[in-house]
Amino acid sequence: MSPSSTIKAATIPDPPATPTMVSQSTSTIVIEWTDPYNGFDTIIDYKVYWDAGRGDNVFDLLADSTFNTLTYSKSDLTPGVYY
């Protein structure tokens, strides 16, 4: 009798949910998001970017799974600028 193996097919994870605003003031925001559904497998990596309000359509990295966080706080924002 030959040995047998069990193979589990990978589950493609969903993207993280849209970040939500936790709090805000004229110069600070705090946002949070939930981990994406991953079929109960380990998520290797994901990244959260944002438009930093420079008007150049370049997005800055806010967080990724290596930071091990689901929240982000940004201060020193300029009132009247869209982020």
The domain segmentation of the chain, as residue ranges, is 20-74
Residue 35 burial (CB count, 10 A): 13
Tens digits of residue pLDDT in 12-55? 777 767 888 999 888 888 988 877 777 776 666 677 788 777 77
pLDDT reported for residue 14: 78
Q: Are 34 and 25 in contact (CB under 8 A)?
A: no
Q: Report which of residues 75 and 1 the model is more confident about.
A: 75
For residue 70, count other CB atoms closer than 10 A to its CB: 15
- Mean pLDDT score, 61-73: 74
Specify the pLDDT at position 22.
Answer: 92
Q: Which residue has better confidence, 63 or 33?
A: 33
According to the model, what pLDDT value does residue 42 have? 64
